[in-house]
Amino acid sequence: MHRSGTSALTRLLNLLGASLPADLYPAGPGNELGHWEPADSGPLHDAMLASMGTHWVSMAPGNEDWVRSPTAAHFRGRLRELIVKQFDDAPLFVVKDPRISLFLPMWTDVLSELNIDPRIVMAFRNPLEVAQSLAHRHRSSTQDDAWHVDRGGLLWLRYVTAGERNSRNIPRAFCSIRRLWRIGERPQSGWETSSA
């Protein structure tokens, strides 16, 4: 789910040896250190969602028959092009876009066609923290208070349940972002004092 620490987790996996996309989505407010995702994955997934009659912030799943449509076949081709363009012949790479959870069956099919064996790492953050972060980002980017925390909680549920359901037959790991952030904290010895 968006605002769940997926960028930090992706960068960590990169530092551990997984290649990043060739063309990265630029850093910006809320992700000043980087999103670490392919520049073209967001627009591609948004176009896929629109063709289904839904949106990334919608609770509605859209047209359930879409996956068997000629339009979906077209998007499968575009997804294949994205993977080849962004990762070329990298032996190990990490791809991140929270919308992947909604399209994971299509992703795994295309990866299989490319002889790529996927592994799933699902980032988890407290849903209330995610909802509050989404509301804060919306207010700061649009100056609009219309985004309610409940909406973020429902979106968290939509993405997390889709990711869990769609990854059941794939080797996967679950990562608590709170625990990941604690790894980066400096241990307190007890005798240190702060001047602040």
User: CB of 31 within 8 A of CB of 133?
Assistant: no
Residue 136 or residue 26, greater confidence: 26
| pLDDT of 112 | 96
Q: What is the pLDDT of residues 34-82, one digit of tens each?
A: 899 999 999 999 999 999 999 998 888 888 889 889 999 999 999 999 9
Q: What is the pTM of this model?
A: 0.85
Query: Residue 124 in contact with residue 103, Cβ under 8 Å?
Result: no
Kindly calculate the radius of gyration of the chain based on its CA atoms and give it in whole angstroms: 18
**pLDDT > 70? residue 191:** no
Q: Is the pLDDT of residue 88 over 80?
A: yes
pLDDT in tens, 138-168: 777 666 666 788 888 999 999 999 999 999 9
Q: C-alpha distances in angstroms, 153 versus 67, 104, 157, 183? A: 26, 21, 6, 26
Mean pLDDT over 169-192 rounds to 72
Task: Give the 3-state DSSP-derived string for 29-41, with helices as H, strands as E and coil as C.
Answer: CCECCCCCCECCH
The answer to whether the beta carbons of residues 96 and 159 sit under 8 Å apart is no
pLDDT score at 145 = 61
Estimate to the nearest angstrom the gap between the alpha carbon of 27 and the chain centroid: 15
